[in-house]
Chains A and B, each alone.
Chain A
């Protein structure tokens, strides 16, 4: 739990020497509690206090970083049960599982590695791959797993998860992944000693697995006693409801500072069949998973999952927005049409992508509607004739075009009269309601 200013004050030297730049130790303590200064600014804190303060400042859910020589993925560090209470910070890593014995492993990984999809101006990809020791590799043949790791490393730079129970095989494969932070799956009560050693040796992160939260908490403590700090929990659970219960319980306990469960979790979405994979993954994304492992590389499933993840992890206080201004689409000329929209990212990209895809040139005037969609902004009084006129004048759109004609979104057709009054030398046209219909409208109605 975070300490109050007074609690911190009690741990400071209380000499008011001012070297930290504050008049009193109490003033400094208050700033520390508000996380506005670093403890390092006071040269006189005792080692004991430092340790206590560091522990209290540690996030309730440990931040886990998987790293390769290419990219990294961070999960954990969450502080709330519901996103409206603050926000969810670190999006769950989405990993694709492949089998070590699969002769097509390199091809499959290469294809999935290249996958990239754009959502409102952001490029999304998978975060990494989980290589499962199966066939010979699972019965102890280290070569099969190592060969798979080598093959995968040649086609992707993303972080990896290694799945297997044979410590020796994991050990030799991890030796191939130098300077990386890999996730090992999974230590249970039967093998945790040897896997903890391997994790320690390679600075790997260790998944811990047990049938109940009680056993899981025992196990993480034992593993921690062996010197492994970075762990991830496999919470078990045989269906959606059980996993929801365990995930909720683990999150609650962690937020109450119950350290043995203060780690992110991992969830396998295809555990009850590929037909349930998308729904399982969706629940895991919404309900606190740290890593979500899928078995199917299907863009039609991965794209909606990535969008869902973005939605759930968007800060509720700040809608995603774009800079107001005049955007040039497909190199517009003076005679090209002027389209008006708002600066909510989803709105802007819905329109911009549509026009761009059609190949038709246009000037897209993005008004400052405080990051709201067309109708929301209209209803809130943030997208009215006055604001539209202000944008047209403020961005000096008249100087760019030969034909003074603007197109309003169809949803705000009611504004056209007022806009005509505000912009008396402009022709005002009402476009279609949905952006999908814009290209056809531009071709037919704007000539």
Chain B
């Protein structure tokens, strides 16, 4: 008995957005990365092919992080003290993009230097995060933006309290922005509107709906992402941006990933558990619509890469 498979027909689609610019496009990247463009709920190939696969960014820092799990220190080793080295290793580990996270200790010169050295060390497109304090973010991101005009970096993280300066400089220098709202469809939408109202072209916004780690609020982010994707497909223009999420940052904050001793035996082997924590947080978010996942451990990168390849084959 042939069954008629119910297919959803949507009015809207996700915008396709390109991160990074090659020399032909006014930058220096070996290759640009395009994400988004989807016209169905995630990976429903029987409705329409997935035009661009989700990509993996590896997060590195401008200074050696002292509070990262020893498991991360073990794999990245010396490279953690040198962002150019680290970026190179991240590329070897299979990253499609690099996230360079700056710290409060950085001054503008250091920060620009770090960005330049990362751009020199790898041909991958780059996302740069300020340290997360409004004034400091502006102080560091503006000179970086100017010094890298035309590279199509992603600058972040724009939040409702602090987006104007970052958006303005990104607009002036041909970069993109990462727009983060705390796990709420309307807040995401509102921030996207504010950013668009400043004149930011719509193909230069990535939205970050905020996520929690597995076991620490992940399910809220999961559902908000599904709802954002549904809203986008229904035609709501201010939700039609590709989504970037940070499962690496969240998962490696948890006790399950951070702590090896004095934890219940039922948690099992520390390293395998920590990597599973990151990998499972990431795969769940990919299933709910993430276009860019930012990870920290090379083994998670490898596993998520394999999963992505499978998900996008028809």
Contact = CB atoms under 8 A, between A and B. Distances in A.
Contacts of B252: none
Contacts of A83: 219, 222-223, 226
A214 interface: yes
B96 to A, nearest CB: 18
Interface stretch (B15-23, B72-80, B131-139, B209-217): B209-217
Interface in A221-280: 221, 239-241, 244-245, 248-249, 252-253, 256, 258, 260-261, 275-276, 278-279
A84 B307 CA distance: 25
Nearest to A252: B6
B266 A299 contact: yes
Given A82-B226, A346-B217, A298 B3 contact: no
A287 B226 CA distance: 13
B268 A298 contact: yes
Contacts of A298: 268-269, 272
Q: At the interface, is chain A mostly helix, strand, loop or mixed?
A: helix
A399 interface: no
Given A245-B46, A252-B6, A304-B277, A279 B303 contact: yes
B311 A240 contact: yes
A136 B131 CA distance: 63
Contact of B267 (A275, A287, A303, A379): A303
Contact of B217 (A116, A117, A244, A373): A373
Max count, chain A CB within 10 A of own CB: residue among B182, B265, B280, B288 = B280
B6 A311 contact: no
A241 B310 contact: yes
Nearest to A221: B1
Interface in A273-314: 275-276, 278-279, 282-283, 286-287, 298-305, 307-308, 310-312, 314
Contacts of B222: 83, 286, 311-312
Contacts of A213: 3, 5
Contacts of A155: none
Contact of A302 (B255, B259, B268, B313): B268
A424 to B, nearest CB: 32
Nearest to B5: A249
A302 to B, nearest CB: 7
Interface size bracket, A side: 35 or more
B57 to A, nearest CB: 19
A213 B279 CA distance: 31
Interface string B279-291: 1100110011000
B312 A241 contact: yes
Contacts of B259: 436
A274 B226 CA distance: 29
A226 to B, nearest CB: 17
A304 B214 contact: yes
B45 interface: yes
A436 B273 CA distance: 18
A241 B2 contact: no
B291 to A, nearest CB: 17
A312 B219 contact: yes
Given A240-B307, A299-B265, A301-B272, A249 B313 contact: no
A316 interface: yes
A308 B267 contact: no
Nearest to A258: B3
Interface string A345-368: 010001000100100000000000
A305 B280 contact: yes
B44 interface: yes
B258 interface: yes
A59 B174 CA distance: 54
A244 B288 CA distance: 12
A281 B265 CA distance: 22
B296 to A, nearest CB: 16
A400 B44 CA distance: 59
Contact of B266 (A245, A303, A305): A303
B276 interface: yes
A350 B279 CA distance: 22
A311 B43 contact: no
B141 to A, nearest CB: 24
Contacts of A260: 1
Contacts of B314: 241
A305 B215 CA distance: 10
Contacts of A310: 215
> Most B CB atoms within 10 A — which of A249, A256, A373?
A249
A278 B275 CA distance: 11
A395 interface: no
B284 A249 contact: no
Given A302-B268, A311-B219, 12 more contacts: A83-B219, A84-B223, A213-B5, A214-B1, A218-B1, A241-B43, A283-B307, A304-B214, A304-B277, A308-B218, A310-B215, A316-B220
Interface of B: 1-3, 5-6, 41, 43-46, 182, 214-220, 222-223, 226-227, 230, 253, 255-256, 258-259, 262, 264-270, 272-273, 276-277, 279-280, 283-284, 287-288, 303-304, 306-307, 310-314
8 contacts: A83-B226, A119-B215, A213-B5, A214-B2, A244-B44, A283-B307, A299-B268, A312-B219
